[in-house]
Structure 1
Amino acid sequence: MSDHGEPVRLSEPRVDIRSPFGRLALTHVLSLAGDALVAMSLAGSLFFDVDPSEARWKIGAYLLFTMAPFALVGPLIGPAMDRAKGGHRAVLVGSAVGRAVVAFLMIGSVSGDSLLLFPEAFVMLVLAKTYQVAKAAIVPTVVDSDAGLVEANSKLQLISGLAGFAAGIPGGLLLLVIGPSAVVFLAALAFGAAVIAALRVPATTIAAEPAGDQEKAELRSAGVLSAASAMGTLRAVVGFVTFLLAFALRGGEKVAELGTGLGRVAGAVPSGTELSPGDAIAPPGGTPAWHFGVIVALSVAGGLVGAAVAPFVRRAIREELLLLGSLGLGVVAGLSGALMAGLSGQAMLAFFIAIAASAGKQAFDAVVQRDAPDANRGRSFARFESRFQVAWVLGAFIPVVVPLPTRIGGWFVALLTLAAAVFFAIGMKAVGRGEAPPRLPTARQVGRQVRTKVESRRSRRSATADRGGSADAGGGAPS
């Protein structure tokens, strides 16, 4: 419940923009519309004209940079924002102001092909993901009950997807008639409107007191941690697929329409042409620009489908089964990308992963609200969202530093989500028996084990050296 006005009833399909939830929804629509317009402006600029092989090291460095805010948000900045009245609303406003300023700076960069476009684009990425963390904390404060959380997040997902489509119409016209500078100018106006909308979001306190022992125990329970691990895998896969397809569409691999053998028979590849290892699976050729639009459209559509279907599926099956099904859909997505060539494989990979991630998020939210009834929702969702954003960046980092064809990337997605599904299913069975589920060792545990082994070896070597020295001394003594 919000501190301002009546609680929002989410059983109705419409959203009242005068209500606390409606104000947040309007902010979300404008923010996501601005993000969509920025992405569209980049599609017609230097950002997608640069040689992918030359851009990889820059993108990798910026991705590492994007992890810093989320590493700080959880343990340091997060608790302070939780206890400050309007702390997370201030982040909403600040992220919108920052993106509006950066969008105005990008007008000159996209029109003049300036290399400043790269850092500006990734500052946009950082601000957009910081906004997602703050939004996740505020949602529980603007609904009438915990039961409305999944429906609220579903509505936000749906309206944000519709906002992306709606922004794409004027954005596409401006891109064709004027150019990318006009599109990013429209994005700046959208972010400016988001600032005004964010100022009207209720200035509630997310968590007046630090997390108590009971809240910490609930959030660290086996069910919540297993679900968080599964959701983190899905978010990492989204980051991986995003940059895998981005490099594929920008010439990171050849268009796989004909196999080399068939191409030679058909005359598409001259018999005297020497082919590189990358050409052995597809003939030379660039990727048409409209492929980008198809994949973006299917990604948005997949997110809408997942958000619309998840609440209905949840009524028929348990939350864990919905999350497990999302991982299974990730396997289907990976196999589609691995077995289907060219645009069809890339499109199906993007579409099914978007459905899986969207539905999986609804399932995870439901697990937290069920298994951690005494936990502060805003605080817990913000912290989990911070971790998921780090997982996204780590997943995106892989195809940036390791060039991969779409098909190889598809196999990676299929194997990773299959392993996560098996691990989650085993954990579910263990929790059902009242046992602790198996868990992979953390980085701290691995480091501790390594240090213990190193110190043990040093101790044994020191003891051996001492015994050898004593023996030498005894042998050298006069009889």
Structure 2
Amino acid sequence: MSAGKSTGRATLRAGRGAASGTQRVGKAARRMTYAQGAGRTGLGQLIELTAAHSAGDALVTAALAGTLFKLPVNEARGQVAIYLLITMIPFVVVAPFVGPVLDRFRSGRRFVMAGTLFGRGLLCFAMAAAIVPADVFTIFPAALAVLVLSKAYNVSRAAIMPSVLPADIALVTANARVALFALVAAGVAIPIGAGASTWLGAEWVLRGATVLFLLQGVLAVRLPRHVDSPDLEELDDEGEKRPPRWRTLLNVGPVVAAAMRANVAIRLHSGFLLFYLLFLVQDKNLPGLAPPVTIGVLAVAAGAGGLAGAAVASWVRNHSPQVIVLATLALTTVVTVVAAIMFNLWTAVAVALVAAFAQGLGKLALDAIVQREIGEEVRSSTFGVVEAFLQIAWVLGGLVGLLLSLFAGGRTGLAVMATVLAGSLGWLLARRRRRSDARDAKVKAARADRAPDAPDAPSSAGGERHSEEWIRPEPAGTTTAIVRRDDPPAEKRTRPLTNPHG
């Protein structure tokens, strides 16, 4: 009897200790998410919601890994290629359809985000019912719909970030906080989901994800009201209302376009590296360790690189996002060149780590550029286009990796990718230099043509006056803004649909 009581007391103490530890961890996480005014503006709530969203996606992935999307390393290259093409479907849907729909419902963004979460909860419930009878006609479409709604949530979340940004936090830092907590939540949820799937069955993991997504939908509705933006009327030059024009790559402006092209190159390299190294290991062309151990080491390196990218992004508060994007591309190029020259297991691990680091940091900087440069009326459409292009680049890189793994060794394949990266970097730097020279030439021409009898500009204007125009110097990397004297006041002018840098 006494032994039973002692065991019971020990179990009770262990339970209380675990509960106390969990409570302390929760309080510490709350202090981090709500720091620097994030709790006051709603950023802290958005971080927690996105972390829970990422955990839900991880549970779905763990549940489906043993049923529909299991991808062993010895699978035929043709089946891998089909898998890559399937992953493009959600992005093809998001870009032309979901982004414009989100832009049309700016005044109800909380409810749109909640709808994506409620929808995924219902889809998970349907997949749970279809797991035991192996009803692929239900599981497969539902899984793709879950991916589409997940990307719709990410697009909407990125679009509202400026609305919840505290004054003391830069956009890159805020995006990094969201990404860091999302990665940690997914990293915790995946082993839990995998263990529960093995012990209880995938259907119970999906039922748990159903409850989690439904709770998240309630939390999304409870986000601050200023997340919703009023539906503004867009006026043409004659003051008439005009229909919105959907954002395309051709009119996002040079700053966004350059950042997007750099990220496309980084994402192409990332997709290439994943499948190229995977099949090199399978074909035993990457000696040093046993193939399962090598794959594990590469996976750990990629995960560490992603976390490092999010952590570094939270520290670079005062650095230009454009410079960050180009720096990540330059770092990836240099490491790939070194790995191509001295190819072995550890240089392959280094290039995998740097590729994941550059992909994470470069994407966070790109998000900040889009959030800063693109008007609210088409921001979701722009993010939809960005996500689609990045996914297409990743798939193309994976297909190139599959093809080169058939006949090219490690040095040759990495040399090809290093050439692509170096060419992309050189082209982007040359275009940036030409834009800078053209901007300087315009400013000099405007100053040279200034009327000699024009009065000096007031010191508060921060620029020089030229007849009917004010020339205001802008920060490096942007175009000089021209404001005419006969323009209406700023509060009466509507925001242009196109990027002012375009």
What TM-score range do you get, normalising by the shorter chain?
0.5 to 0.7
Matched with 1:434 is: 438
Q: Which residue of 48, 63, 66 maps to 1:44? A: 66
Letter in 1 for 2:311: A
Shift of 1:396: 3.5
In the alignment, does 2:263 pair up with 1:231? yes
- Percent identity, aligned pairs only, is 26
1:198-277 equivalent positions in 2, closer than 5 A? 198-201=220-223, 202=225, 204-205=228-229, 208-210=232-234, 220-241=252-273, 248=278, 253-258=282-287
Q: CA deviation at 1:314?
A: 5.1
Question: Which stretch of structure 1 is more off in the superposition, 397-406 or 350-359?
Answer: 397-406
Deviation at 1:48, TM superposition (A): 1.9
Contact (CA 8 Å) 2:68, 2:140: kept in 1 or not? no
How far, CA to CA, are the matches of 1:409 and 1:130 in structure 2? 35
Report the AA paired with residue 393 of structure 2.
Answer: G
Amino acid at match of 1:59: Y
Q: Which amino acid aligns with 2:361?
A: A
CA distance in 2, matches of 1:45, 1:333: 37
TM-score (norm: length of structure 1): 0.67
**5 Å matches for 1:176-191?**
176-191=198-213
| Aligned match of 1:94 | 115
Displacement after TM superposition at 1:356 (Å): 0.7
Residue 427 of structure 1, CA deviation = 1.8
Output the CA distance in 1 between the equivalents of 2:44 and 2:235. Answer: 29
Matched, 1:421 2:425: yes
Q: Distance in 2 between matches of 1:79 and 1:94?
A: 16
Shift in Å at residue 392 of structure 1?
2.7
Q: Which runs of 5+ in 1 are unaligned?
A: 1-8, 260-281, 437-479
- The alpha carbon displacement at 1:224 in A equals 3.3
Relative to structure 1, is the Cα distance of residues 349 and 381 closer, same or farther in structure 2, using a 3 angstrom cutoff?
Answer: farther
Aligned length: 389
1:308 corresponding residue in structure 2:
311
Aligned-residue RMSD, C-alpha: 4.1
> 1:361 and 1:85, CA in 2 relative to 1: closer, same or farther beyond 3 A?
closer
Cα distance in 1, alignment partners of residues 33 and 68 from structure 2: 46
**Partner amino acid, structure 1, of 2:110:** R
- Report how far residue 137 of structure 1 moved: 0.8
Does structure 1 residue 323 correspond to structure 2 residue 325?
yes
Aligned ranges 1:284-299 → 2 under 5 Å: 288=292, 295-299=298-302
CA drift at 1:32: 0.7
The TM-score, its normalising length taken from structure 2, stands at 0.64
The 3-state SS of whatever aligns with 2:170 is helix
Match of 1:21 in 2: 43
Letter aligned with residue 427 of structure 2:
F
**Cα distance, 1:433 vs. partner?**
1.2
Shift of 1:296: 4.9
How far 1:161 moved relative to its partner? 1.3
One-letter amino acid matched to 2:309: G
SS across alignment from 2:438: coil
Q: Is the aligned partner of 1:69 residue 2:93?
A: yes
| 1:27-38 → structure 2 map (5 Å cutoff) | 27-38=49-60
Give the deviation of 1:380 after TM superposition: 5.2
CA contact (8 A) 1:314 1:322 kept: no
Residue deviations 1:271-291, cap 9 Å, x none?
xxxxxxxxxxx9xx9x53x76
Q: Cα gap change, 1:219/1:257 in structure 2, threshold over 3 Å: closer, same or farther?
A: closer
User: Gapped runs of 5+ residues in structure 2?
Assistant: 1-30, 238-244, 441-502
Q: 1:107 aligns with which of 125, 128, 131?
A: 128
Paired residue type of 2:430: I
Q: Closer, same or farther in 2 for the Cα pair 1:62/1:362, shift >3 Å?
A: closer
